[in-house]
Structure 1
């Protein structure tokens, strides 16, 4: 009953703080509102943020792993390219040497053929010269016999 009397009693006017039943009611409302906000909004948002952070960290780790794999592959490809360049350079050098050898062999063969042709021509000219000398010698012998016969007959 005293509560009823106090409730009906007039509210004193003028103080800086009035301590009545509204203060505990407001405190309860703040606690309930905080709990509801936490349950309805902050936990789901926090869960989404944590899931997103987990996804980002997983993606970042995967990206680092893939980057390392790409760098290894790049190094392997660079090594293969270096080997291929060396092999191509060796093939070019070998081809140049082979062409040089074929060129020298062709030159040697051409010189041998030229020398044999020259030797055959020289022998042929010697034979023709010897034939011409023998013909001239027989003709000279005939003419000298004719001259001797005419001089003796005259």
Structure 2
């Protein structure tokens, strides 16, 4: 069997017609769907990169704000510590002044009591010495 040129040509024409039919009815819509899907994936990837960049930016802003707030907190603690030290010094000075005043008042009271005791003891010694003298004179 020898192939007939008419039959070969007919098969070739039918193959070309089938190819064109399939190309426009099957392959073109499938290619379009694949291209659309690829475009959506690319858009999603771009959106993902944009969201990642925005998240990075927000994290950087958060870190900067956190550093700033920590610095402010440190400064505030430093101010409070300075103020507390100042108040402590003021209270200590006032307590020292009160203690010195009480000490001087107590010293004055003790000196007054000492003088009074001296006067009283001197009076008692004088009374005892007079009584001893009188007693000795009576015996003699």
Task: Give me the TM-score of the superposition, normalised by structure 1.
Answer: 0.76
**What is the number of residues matched between the two proteins?**
139
- Mapped to 1, the partners of 2:37 and 2:73 lie a distance apart of 52
Relative to structure 2, which stretch is displaced further, 99-108 or 115-124? 99-108
* Secondary structure of residue in 2 paired with 1:47: helix
Q: Please state how far the C-alpha of 1:85 moved relative to its aligned partner.
A: 1.1
Relative to structure 2, which stretch is displaced further, 107-116 or 127-136? 107-116
- 1 or 2, which has the higher helix percentage? 2
Could you say which structure has the larger radius of gyration?
A: 1
Q: Please state how far the C-alpha of 1:84 moved relative to its aligned partner.
A: 1.2
Alignment of 1:80 onto 2:65 = yes
Q: Please state how far the C-alpha of 1:100 moved relative to its aligned partner.
A: 2.3
- Point out where structure 2 has 5 or more consecutive residues left out of the alignment: none
Instruction: Give the aligned partner of residue 115 of structure 1.
Output: 100
Alignment of 1:56 onto 2:37 = no
For residues 15-30 of structure 1, the aligned pairs below 5 Å read: 18-30=3-15
- Point out where structure 1 has 5 or more consecutive residues left out of the alignment: 1-12
Task: Give me the TM-score of the superposition, normalised by structure 2.
Answer: 0.82
For residues 2-17 of structure 1, the aligned pairs below 5 Å read: none
Instruction: Give the aligned partner of residue 8 of structure 1.
Output: none
Relative to structure 2, which stretch is displaced further, 18-27 or 71-80? 18-27
